[in-house]
Amino acid sequence: MSEKTMITKNLNVTCIGAGVIGSGWAARLLVNGINVTVFDEQPESYHRTNSSFKRAKKYLSQLTKAPLRTIGNLTFAKTLEDALKIPNYIIESLPENLQLKQHLYREIEEISIDTIILSSTSGFKPTNLQKHMKNPTNLIVTHPFNPVYLMPLVEVVPGQARDQNIIDDVQHLLEYIGMVPIIIKKEIDAFVADRMLEAMWREALWLVKDDICTTKELDDIITSSFGIRFAQMGMFESYRIAGGDKGMRHFLDQFGPALKWPWSRLTDVPEFNSELIEKICSQSDEQSDMHSISELEDIRDKNLVELQKALRNNRWGSGRILASYEKDLFDEQSKQAEKASAQITSDLLITYTKTIPPEWADYNGHMTEYRYLNCFGDASDAVMLHIGCDKAYIEAGNSYFTVETNIKHLNELKVGQEVYIETKVIKGIEKKLHVFHMLRNKEGELFATGEHLLLHVSLKTRKTCPASKALMNRMAELYKQHKKIRLPSEPKIIV
């Protein structure tokens, strides 16, 4: 990773365009500690940025057990000149109008000739975007997917005029914020993902137009079949399995001839007239009109979080990237490079951050009692990950079991409060890990403490055994760092 992308506290990005995509970019960057300036010629669009930022903080804190980075500074610029004073990168997310984008690039170069421009276009070739630029190598397409703060994929498309150092820097930046940059080898209209989606969209329009199925039935077909499968394994690997023991070659032999059958109508498009538009819109209203767009966004984001967490736990598909991103967050925290928020200053481990969601409320409107154990359990898991007790270590046959827990409730937490947990390692020896958790709000007020005693166990014999040397060394480091830090109350567990 280049020095520019490593020193994120000095990294500034300007997002031009505050629509769904531009605001999503701003939100993802902010929660990863990057300073963002947003400019839109319609300042009323800035409410979308604030909304996306709130969603990103809420759902990313649920996506990973690691504490989020220190939030970057958000600025709304009044003019383009103000927006272009200090950025290392400019992310352009204007409407899909080639002339509009080209005109913006000319304006940018008149003010800042050397700044890297990343276009969020979903279809224009970068060479066409670069056409009137003085320094065309400074423009690269980085096409994300909505919501940008949760969806990891970015199609990175360089133009004919390219600089490999710039491409590498952009790739490192995207990886740093937990995204999956795929470098598209050759320019092509609409790139890769949208071409796949367009093929499905064309066929879907025919199926609805010809009354084969409704919009709801078609969505149910997708979400209850290949949508689930493709989310974790993709098309080609799924089809490889469909070929049985003989794999892809047998699948192609068996189903290849079907490509000549008149199944799909991908070479033709139904007339996009008022009748078809009305049919689609009325069916869509019937399907989803009981929910507002904001409610649908919440449902979508919750589902995306849980799906990606499942993939992370299995280290599969996009979950591999999430696991790597989470590890980076833990590593940074352990070096005291980043904190969960500007108010958190602690020499202890920050093992958990979260905004209390509505579904965690009890009948009194406060956080349900068992959720405290939920938080402290996740914090203990974070300590285990931190010292190296990860999926690979567990699969090798060893883990930690909790044998005693003590929770003390000191104050009432309400829905919407931002909280974090700081953790002290009281003791870490061969077979024992003794931790003390403190649950605080963002102002540092203590709401609860949780104390866990864990024993290292062989999963083969189900008996206690010494941890690996690497884990014991890591525990010893933490104990040395933490032993002089006083606790708000005496530990209850005797070891």
Convert the pLDDT of each residue in 445-484 to its tens digit. 999 999 999 999 999 999 999 999 999 999 998 988 898 8
Residue 277 pLDDT greater than 70, yes or no: yes
Sheet holding 349-355, edge to edge: 349-355, 418-428, 432-441, 446-458, 398-409
**Which of the two residues, 202 and 313, has the higher pLDDT score?**
202
The band of 9, judged by pLDDT with boundaries at 50, 70 and 90, is: low
Confidence at residue 241, expressed as pLDDT on a 0 to 100 scale: 82
Instruction: Give the tokens for residue 285.
Output: 């209203």
Q: Work out the angle between the directed axes of helices 293-313 and 46-63 (0-180°, nearest 10).
A: 30
Mean pLDDT, to the nearest integer, of 309-333?
82
Q: What is the pTM of this model?
A: 0.74
DSSP assignment of 175-239 equals HHTT-EEEE-SS--TTTTHHHHHHHHHHHHHHHHHTTS--HHHHHHHHHTTHHHHHHHHHHHHHH
Query: Is the Cβ–Cβ distance between 39 and 83 less than 8 Å?
Result: yes
Q: Which CATH number fits domain 341-482: 3.40.50.300, 1.10.645.10, 2.70.98.10, 3.10.129.10?
A: 3.10.129.10
**CATH-assigned architecture of domain 3-183:** 3-Layer(aba) Sandwich (3.40)
Q: Which CATH number fits domain 193-290: 1.20.120.160, 1.10.3720.10, 3.40.640.10, 1.10.1040.10?
A: 1.10.1040.10
Q: Side chain identity at 17, as an amino acid letter?
A: G
Confidence at residue 424, expressed as pLDDT on a 0 to 100 scale: 93
Which residues are CB-neighbours of 474 under 8 A, at least 6 positions away?
386, 387, 388
Write out the residue limits of the CATH 1.10.1040.10 domain(s) in the chain: 193-290
Residue 2 pLDDT greater than 70, yes or no: no
Q: Where are the beta strands (DSSP E) in 211-340?
A: none
| 383-392 confidence digits (pLDDT tens) | 998 899 988 8
**Which of the two residues, 248 and 31, has the higher pLDDT score?**
31
The band of 212, judged by pLDDT with boundaries at 50, 70 and 90, is: very high
Confidence at residue 233, expressed as pLDDT on a 0 to 100 scale: 82
What is the average pLDDT score of the chain? 88
Interatomic CA distance for residues 119 and 221, integer angstroms: 34
Write out the residue limits of the CATH 3.40.50.720 domain(s) in the chain: 3-183
Confidence at residue 341, expressed as pLDDT on a 0 to 100 scale: 35
The band of 65, judged by pLDDT with boundaries at 50, 70 and 90, is: confident
Write out the residue limits of the CATH 3.10.129.10 domain(s) in the chain: 341-482
**118: part of which helix (H) or strand (E)?**
strand 116-119
Confidence at residue 333, expressed as pLDDT on a 0 to 100 scale: 64
Confidence at residue 219, expressed as pLDDT on a 0 to 100 scale: 92
DSSP assignment of 37-62 equals EEE-SSGGGHHHHHHHHHHHHHHHHH
Could you tell me which of 412, 431, 414, 426 has the C-alpha nearest to residue 349?
426
The band of 62, judged by pLDDT with boundaries at 50, 70 and 90, is: confident
Mean pLDDT, to the nearest integer, of 87-96?
95
